[in-house]
Amino acid sequence: MTTVYQQKGLNYFNLVAESLKTFLDTDARDGGYFDIPAESYNPLRKQYNPVQIAKTITAPTGTHSDFGFGIIDVDIYARGLNFIFGLAHPLRRIAIVSLYRLSGTKIRERIAKEVVHEMGHLLGLSHCRKSSCVMYFSNTLEDTDKKEKSICGTCRSRIEA
């Protein structure tokens, strides 16, 4: 079970839940809304630190969730990269997907792909070399658009092992 938290003002729970169920056979529950913590903003980069945001969405103690998942709409980064679409923190069992750079006519498809990608990391998958696999590293929107919404057979066998 994955608890899905959304930044206040967003309404993507159904898309996230459907993506998790369809492509990874994982159920989701609505964890409600949260505010982006002010301390997560990095004024030098003019972006947000997703690790700080992840601390906000940690599933509360005593829930039956295996994972926490955050949907946000701010620009996020990781060390060494100009930006990222999402982040998974397997040790904390938390993942985040940012809508900020996924805009356009394909936004719903892009969100679905990034949700499955980040959840794949939580399930123990690393990046795949197959460019059509959802676990392929997306450096651009074009990379995301070329990928399928599902994991390839090799990645599937790693999860099922």
pLDDT at 65: 64
Q: How confident is the model at residue 62 (pLDDT cuts 50, 70, 90)?
A: low
Number of neighbours of residue 158 by Cβ within 10 angstroms: 17
d(CA 132, CA 84) in angstroms, rounded, equals 19
Number of neighbours of residue 154 by Cβ within 10 angstroms: 13
**Catalytic (active site) residue 18:** no
**Distances from the Cα of 5 to the Cαs of 34, 36, 99, 141, in angstroms?**
7, 11, 14, 24
Q: Strand 94-98 and strand 86-89: pairing?
A: antiparallel
d(CA 15, CA 88) in angstroms, rounded, equals 19
The structure's pTM equals 0.92
Q: How confident is the model at residue 159 (pLDDT cuts 50, 70, 90)?
A: confident
User: Which of the residues 118, 142, 148, 160 is marked catalytic?
Assistant: 118
Q: Is the pLDDT of residue 143 over 60?
A: yes
Q: Which residues pair with 41 in a beta bridge?
A: 48
Cα dihedral 141→133→70→29 (10° resolution): 140
Most confident listed range (4-8, 56-60, 91-95): 4-8
d(CA 132, CA 151) in angstroms, rounded, equals 9
pLDDT at 57: 81
H/E stretch holding 70: strand 67-72
Backbone Cα Rg of the chain: 15
Helix H segments across 4-128?
13-24, 50-56, 107-122
pLDDT at 91: 87
Tens digit of each residue's pLDDT (9 = 90 or more) over 68-104: 999 999 999 999 899 999 999 988 899 999 999 998 9
Go through the domains of the chain in sequence order and give each one's CATH number.
2-160 (3.40.390.10)
Q: Is the pLDDT of residue 147 over 90?
A: yes
